[in-house]
Structure 1
Amino acid sequence: MRRVSKIAAAGVVSAALALTATACGSSTTDDSKPSSSSSAGGGSSAGGKGKGVGIAYDVGGRGDHSFNDSAARGLDKADQELNLESKELTAANGETDSDREQHLDAMAAAGYNPVIAVGYTYGPALQKIAAKYPNTTFGIVDSVVDLPNVDSMTFATEQSSYLAGVAAALKTKTGQVGFIGGVQNALIGTFDAGFAQGVKDTKPNVKVTSEYLYKNDPRGFNDAASAAGKAQGMLDRGIDVIYTAAGLSGDGSIQKVAGKSGAWAIGVDSDQFQDPALAKYKNSILTSAVKNVDVAVYDLITSVKKDNKPKVGTNTYNLANNGVSLASSGGFIADIQSQLDAAKQKIVSGQVKVNTTP
């Protein structure tokens, strides 16, 4: 079994289903056993012969039923094969770039290799720390850091969101669908843009309403109560399909949709129909726009720990290489699968170019 130390950078985020805003404590915990090997200074060797993997999750952490959980599945799969000793860390609400630098620096200095940052918010911090440890391989999800020892994992989320929009347009009974974004920024804008285009290309008369929880604050991925409020407001206005791209906050939206007869929720990043923590609501989850962060994380870890050929550079995951997809669990989109397949083929062939900005 691997020895995993789970640290909350400034608090522990519960893995249980959170339907109110998650509060962060002030303590740090470390339940790992003593390490048998370490490396300092310039980091461990490119082959990663020292300690295992260091992974820094964004707010919400392992147990968010979405983005971070997908990354965690990649780590778990690699662990099953390679028996890793790893350290997991979760960012708290309100962390600064300096805080994130310290977390990444500590893992690299301790000899963890690769060190993986889950989320665009780590971009500035990783730019500095990866340059400091040229012999350690780093990975970052949803951002590009142009250094020779970094695997920048980017995802064509606008493409899977487009398919989610097609499904929403074909399933709405009221002619109104909604999008809830956790944070109003360029990344979440790709989900918004793709979804809206998919709806309009399928049924131009369907009305799309887009709303965000926060302007530019990562708390938007860790505030289920706010998402629940947004979703309830949409349902009250007759919107009957709601796509939420907001990490752990999405739990609140899904719960509200499940309480409305005839309404559908669309999940994000992970296949949320399959998440045990959301089992009570799964029959209201039409589909999920999946981002296979697990595949990217697994590929990086094995490239370092197994193949001794670290995967670096900018690596894009899209519909063509199955890096993003639309989940079919539950069978709720079986009746429109042919239309979804046709839409996917148009994107893969280049016939349809999906917008990345709303």
Structure 2
Amino acid sequence: MSSSRSGILASVVIVVIVFGSVGGILFLTNQFEPSRVAVVVMNPGFDDSSRADQVREAMTEEVAVQYYIPDSPATEAEAQTLMESLASSGNYLLIIIVGNELEDELQQVAAIYQNQKFALIGGFVDLDNVASATFEIHEAAFLAGIIAALVADEDEYNGTIGILGSVSTDYDVIRMIAGFEQGVDTAILAFGLNVEVLEPRYVGSYNDTNTASVMTHTLFTTEFCSIVFAPVRASIWGVREGMLSANETFSTLGLDRLPLAIGAEMNQDYIGNPNPYVRSGPSWMITSVVARSDLAFTHILNATLWDRYTGGELEDFNLANGGVNITDFAFSRTNVDAAYISTAWEYAQAIINGTIAVNDS
């Protein structure tokens, strides 16, 4: 009996394989050869502290899959060439694309390789061999706007709210900003707040720490923002640097206030902790607007592995089904009044019930 049990346990293996600059992560839960799945993520790729990293978290689940992760393409043209190469090889059960910026390129490639199964996380391609997942992320951003307005109206702040986005043409950034601004406006009207939102500023990149740091510092110390909404992906580490330098300026000026920010696309609350690598203590990143790219990835992958591939279908993730939301203020309850949090959840219910419709542009 014991030897049989040992044999079963021996068949459960996790192996990580890295070939130079190209990573292949192999998860085995049985003794048979696993299915191969390729994952394509645009630059900056993984370690973006955003949607790609959420997908990577989903990839750590123990399933019978061999993941192939090519180097992240820098341009849409490079991404299309990569997708064509992967599809033409015939080696992959599923090719998963992360990000709406590759909708057009995937449309072209999938139309040619009709026997190849594709998935798009964060966008929609209307073809039978593409399973798509989208996110009503503006709904969650609305709730962040409610919180930002209530916090900015407190006595120690001046009511000014800044917005720092990554790239001005990014569809998700446009929708998040629209929802956020509507949330602020709703709170102003509902509670008579003395709050204003500045025109959005943009880093011009998804991964430019220096520029994000300078712009964040300026928003706090020159524009005197009370709080900054920052959907900037990997540049969020520059936002942290800007908050730290702004706090030094506040101390020099004798100002009794904190540089507060709101993250986006993934739970970035820990980035505002005293030590983000320990993830404890109060956070200046009071909440984050989250789209569950990990959930979408898992849904599509599992359906495909169980021979229930959802090609030609669109799964839309929203507040009602738990696919988008703001985080639970785990590190920031010392900086955010409990009444504000309750108010945000009341507005969330109104959105779910259809009482409030959130703009996406």
- For 2:47 and 2:269, the matched residues in 1 are separated by 15
Match of 1:207 in 2: 196
Are the aligned partners of 1:145 and 1:152 in contact in 2 as well (CA < 8 Å)? Answer: yes
Determine which structure has greater relative contact order: mean sequence separation of CA pairs < 8 Å that are 6+ residues apart, divided by chain length. Answer: 1
Distance 1:277 1:62, change over 3 A: farther
CA contact (8 A) 1:140 1:152 kept: yes
Counterpart among 9, 22, 26 of residue 30 in structure 1: 22
Match of 2:181 among 192, 196, 201: 196
Aligned counterparts, 1:277-296, within 5 A: 277=277, 279=279, 283-296=283-296
Measured in 2, the distance between the counterparts of 1:281 and 1:250 equals 19
Q: Deviations over 1:153-184 (max 9, x none)?
A: 11011101001111111111220111111111
1:356 paired residue number? 360
Aligned to 1:170: 150
Structure 2: distance between partners of 1:156 and 1:150: 20
Mapping of residues 205-354 of structure 1, within 5 Å? 205-209=194-198, 210-214=200-204, 220-236=205-221, 237-259=223-245, 260=247, 261-274=257-270, 277=277, 279=279, 283-305=283-305, 307-312=306-311, 313-328=313-328, 329-332=330-333, 333=336, 335=338, 336-354=340-358
Runs of 4+ in 1 over 3 A off after TM superposition: 2-6, 31-34, 274-282
Following superposition, the deviation at residue 278 of structure 1 comes to 8.3
67 and 33 in structure 1: CA distance in 2 versus 1, 3 angstrom threshold: closer
Q: Distance in 2 between matches of 1:278 and 1:175?
A: 32
Identity of aligned residues (%): 23
- Quote the RMSD (CA, aligned, Å): 2.4
Contact kept in structure 1, 2:262 and 2:286, CA below 8 Å: yes
Counterpart of 1:337, as a letter, is I
**1:229-273 superposed Cα distances (whole Å, 9 cap, x missing partner):** 221111011102111111101221133124425121111111112
Distance 1:343 1:262 in 2: 26
Distance of 2:357 and 2:24 partners within structure 1: 47
Change (3 A) 1:190 1:278: farther
Q: Alpha-carbon deviations, 1:195-237, whole Å to 9, x = none?
A: 11111100253111211222xxxxx111122221221111011
What's the secondary structure of 2:357's corresponding residue?
coil
- The alpha-carbon distance between structure 1 residues 5 and 145, as it changes in their structure 2 partners (threshold 3 A), is farther
Q: Secondary structure at the match of 1:147?
A: coil
Residue of structure 1 in register with 2:43 after alignment: 59
Q: State the SS of the aligned residue for 1:203.
A: helix
Q: Which residue of 1 aligns with 2:138?
A: 158
Cα distance change, pair 277–54 in 1 and its aligned pair in 2 (3 A): farther
What residue number does 1:139 align with? 119
Q: Which secondary structure does the structure 2 equivalent of 1:245 belong to?
A: coil
Mean Cα displacement is larger for which, 342-351 or 254-263? 254-263
- Equivalences for 1:36-185 in 2 at 5 Å? 51-77=35-61, 80=62, 82-93=63-74, 95-97=75-77, 99-108=78-87, 109-172=89-152, 173-185=157-169
Q: Is the 8 A contact 1:74 1:294 kept in 2?
A: yes
Q: Distance in 2 between matches of 1:281 and 1:288?
A: 17
Residues 122, 293 of structure 2: 8 Å contact kept: no
Query: What is the alpha-carbon distance in structure 1 between the residues aligned to residue 85 and residue 17 of structure 2?
Result: 15
Distance 1:59 1:96 in 2: 10
Instruction: Report the CA distance shift for 1:29/1:171 in structure 2 as closer, same or farther (over 3 A).
Output: same
Code of the residue aligned with 1:350 in structure 2: it is G
Check whether the contact 1:254–1:281 (CA below 8 A) recurs between aligned residues: no
Alignment check: 8 A CA contact 2:120 2:130 kept: yes
1:311–1:334 distance in 2 versus 1, CA, 3 Å: farther
Asked if structure 2 preserves the Cα contact closer than 8 Å seen for 1:118 and 1:141, the reply is yes
Secondary structure, counterpart of 1:221 in structure 2: coil
Instruction: Indicate conservation of the 8 Å contact 1:60/1:247, yes or no.
Output: no
Question: Which protein shows a greater Rg?
Answer: 2
Paired with 1:203 and 1:3, the residues of 2 have a C-alpha distance of 52
Letter in 2 for 1:198: G
- Residue ranges of structure 2 left out of the alignment (5+ in a row): 1-13, 27-32, 248-256
Q: Matched residues in 1 for 2:211 and 2:355: separation?
A: 38
CA distance in 2 between counterparts of 1:269 and 1:282 reads 21
Unmatched tracts of structure 1, length 5 or more: 7-27, 35-48, 215-219
The 1:143/1:266 distance shift into structure 2, 3 A limit, reads same
Q: Taking structure 1 as reference, are residues 176 and 124 closer, same or farther at Cα in structure 2, changes over 3 Å only?
A: same
Quote the Cα distance in structure 2 between the aligned partners of 1:239 and 1:177: 5
Structure 2: how far apart are the matches of 1:55 and 1:345?
35
1:224 is aligned with what amino acid? T
Moved more, 323-332 or 281-290: 281-290
CA contact (8 A) 1:5 1:87 kept: no
